[in-house]
Amino acid sequence: MGISEFVYREYRVVVEVEGDHHRTERTQWNRDIEKYHAYAEAGIEVVRLTSKHIRGRHPTAVEIVRAALHRHGWNG
Overall size of the chain counted in residues: 76
Report if pTM > 0.85. Answer: yes
76 domain-assigned:
no
The residue that leads in pLDDT, 21 or 69, is 69
Q: Is residue 17 part of a domain?
A: yes
For residue 1, tell me if it sits in a domain: no
Tell me, yes or no, whether 48 lies in a domain.
Answer: yes
Q: What is the mean pLDDT of residues 42-46?
A: 97
CA distances from 35 to 1, 54, 66, 75 (A): 6, 22, 22, 28
Asked whether residue 14 is assigned to any structural domain, the reply reads yes
Question: 55 is in which domain, residue-wise?
Answer: 6-71
* pLDDT at residue 18 tops 90: no
Our count of domains for the chain comes to 1
